[in-house]
Amino acid sequence: MHSEPTAEQEFLKKFIGEWAFESEASMEPGGDVMQFNGTESVRPIGDNWVVGEMHGKMPDGSMATMMNSIGFNATRNRFVGTFFGSPDDHLWIYDGSLDKANNELTLEAEGPSMTVPGKFCSYRDINRFVSDNERQFRSEVREDDGTWRTFMRATYTKQA
């Protein structure tokens, strides 16, 4: 089924391009802060989707490749997508929404706990466009008490 582009799909075009990122993460509260950086290449798939491929050096020095897809399902009025990467074996399935006032896309998913084997947790990835050439990213996990804890932050700078 073909659908006409929506304002939300137009928003996704902000992701298109070549990006460099610098990131830091702390997987446990009060844990060591790890830094890593890399590149991301995002391209459109028709008018309805964007697909990104990231390459980066992990804190342990190994290289990682990650892929994501984001689209807008006009029938559900929700952003949808996926994420997977070479460091793990989980396929993240996104469901999200756009805060137009803050230029912020929030994508939620269920995934494995970083601290308890076999347990699944709620996560959310938040992309906020500061300008056409910079976006701030943060990844959060919902703690057992219901609060959200930021465990990763990144700044993306458009290169082309």
- Residue by residue, pLDDT tens for the chain (160 residues) are 566 778 998 999 999 999 999 999 887 788 888 888 999 999 999 988 999 999 998 878 899 999 999 999 999 999 999 999 998 999 999 999 999 999 999 999 999 998 899 999 999 999 999 999 999 999 999 999 999 999 999 999 999 8
Q: Tell me which residue has tokens 């057992």.
A: 144
pLDDT of residue 21: 97
Cross-strand pairs, 36: 23
Residue 53, domain extent: 7-158
Q: Please tell me the pTM assigned to this model.
A: 0.92
Under DSSP, is residue 55 helix (H, G, I), strand (E, B) or coil?
A: strand
Could you give the C-alpha distances from 77 to 37, 116, 128, 133, in angstroms and in order? Answer: 33, 34, 20, 27
- The first and second tokens of residue 31, run together, are 């844990």
Residue 2 lies in a domain: no
pLDDT of residue 78: 97
Backbone angles phi, psi at 122, to 5 degrees: -90, 135
Closest CA to 39 of 65, 21, 16: 21
Residue 18 lies in a domain: yes
pLDDT of residue 57: 87
Say how many domains are in the chain.
Answer: 1
Residue 61 lies in a domain: yes
Residue 59 lies in a domain: yes
H or E element: which one contains 12?
helix 7-12
Cα-Cα-Cα-Cα torsion 34, 53, 13, 69, nearest 10 degrees, comes to -100
Residue 45 lies in a domain: yes
| CATH number of the domain that residue 91 is part of | 2.40.128.20
The Cα 100–Cα 105 span in angstroms is: 8
Residue 44 lies in a domain: yes
- The first and second tokens of residue 69, run together, are 């897809």
Residue 145 lies in a domain: yes
- The first and second tokens of residue 136, run together, are 């701030």
